[in-house]
C-alpha cells in the first residue's frame, strides 16, 4: 500500500499542529456547542485538544466550500465534520502512537488491522485506531447523534463507501477536501 506525497504532507501538518497544547478558542467551542446535539457535544469534548481544533478547522473549511449552495446552512454537515474522528478515542493513542499506527496501517493494510483488534497491548490499539471510522459511527449513534454524522464517520476514509452514505455528492466532496487540506 502506498501513501501519496499529498497525504504525507497532510499527515505532517497534522503532526506539527498536534504538538501545540492549546484548547480550541472559546468562541469556536461556543460555536461547536451551538451546532452539535448535547450528546454529540459531550462526545466531541472527549477528543484531545488537537483533534477538537482539527475538527473545527474541517467544519469551517467545509462551510466555506458549501457557501452559496442549498447545503450551506444544513448543520448536519458541520456536525459530520466535527465528529468524523471521534472513533480515535477507542485507541487511546497519543500523537507518536498515531504516527506508528498510520505507518503500520500503510504497511500492512486496513484488512490486516481488523485482526489486530483481537490482540493485546499496542497492536490492539493500532487496530482500533485504524478502525476509527466505524467505531466513531457506533459512538455517534450511541449518543443519539445525527445519522449523517455517523455515516460520514464510518465512510470518510473509504471513497468506495461514499455513495452509500446518502450524503449529497457536493457535501461529500466538501467534507473530504476540508479534512484532507
Task: Express as a percent the part of the chain with pLDDT over 90.
Answer: 76
pLDDT of 1 reads 44
Distance separating alpha carbons of residues 57 and 69, to the nearest angstrom: 20
Question: Residue 53: which pLDDT band, with cuts at 50, 70 and 90?
Answer: very high
Local structure of 37: helix, strand or coil? coil
Q: Locate 150 and state its grid cell.
A: 455517523
Local structure of 95: helix, strand or coil? helix
Q: What is the pTM of this model?
A: 0.89
Is the confidence at residue 3, as pLDDT, over 70?
A: no
Is the confidence at residue 2, as pLDDT, over 70?
A: no
Q: Locate 175 and state its grid cell.
A: 467534507
Whether residue 33 contacts residue 59, with contact meaning beta carbons closer than 8 Å, is answered with no
Closest CA to 113 of 103, 150, 96, 87: 103
146 phi/psi in degrees, rounded to 5? -65, 140
- Could you read off the pLDDT of 95-105 as tens digits, one per residue? 889 989 988 98
Distance separating alpha carbons of residues 57 and 61, to the nearest angstrom: 6
Amino acid at each position: 500500500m502506498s501513501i501519496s506525497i499529498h497525504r504525507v504532507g497532510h499527515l505532517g501538518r497534522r503532526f506539527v499542529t498536534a504538538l501545540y497544547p492549546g484548547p480550541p478558542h472559546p468562541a469556536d467551542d461556543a460555536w461547536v456547542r451551538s451546532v452539535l446535539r448535547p450528546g454529540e457535544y459531550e462526545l466531541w469534548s472527549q477528543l484531545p485538544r488537537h483533534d477538537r481544533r482539527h475538527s473545527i478547522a474541517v467544519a469551517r473549511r467545509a462551510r466555506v466550500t458549501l457557501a452559496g449552495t442549498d447545503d450551506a446552512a444544513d448543520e448536519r454537515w458541520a456536525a459530520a465534520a466535527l465528529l468524523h474522528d471521534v472513533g480515535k478515542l477507542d485507541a487511546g493513542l497519543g500523537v507518536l502512537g498515531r504516527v506508528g499506527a498510520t505507518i503500520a496501517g500503510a504497511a500492512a493494510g486496513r484488512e490486516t488491522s481488523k485482526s489486530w483488534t483481537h490482540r493485546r497491548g499496542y497492536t490492539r490499539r493500532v487496530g482500533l485506531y485504524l478502525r476509527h471510522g466505524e467505531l466513531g459511527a457506533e459512538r455517534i449513534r450511541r449518543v443519539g447523534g445525527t445519522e449523517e454524522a455517523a455515516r460520514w464517520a464510518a465512510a470518510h476514509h473509504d471513497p468506495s463507501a461514499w455513495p452509500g452514505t446518502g450524503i449529497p455528492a457536493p457535501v461529500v466532496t466538501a467534507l473530504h477536501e476540508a479534512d484532507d487540506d
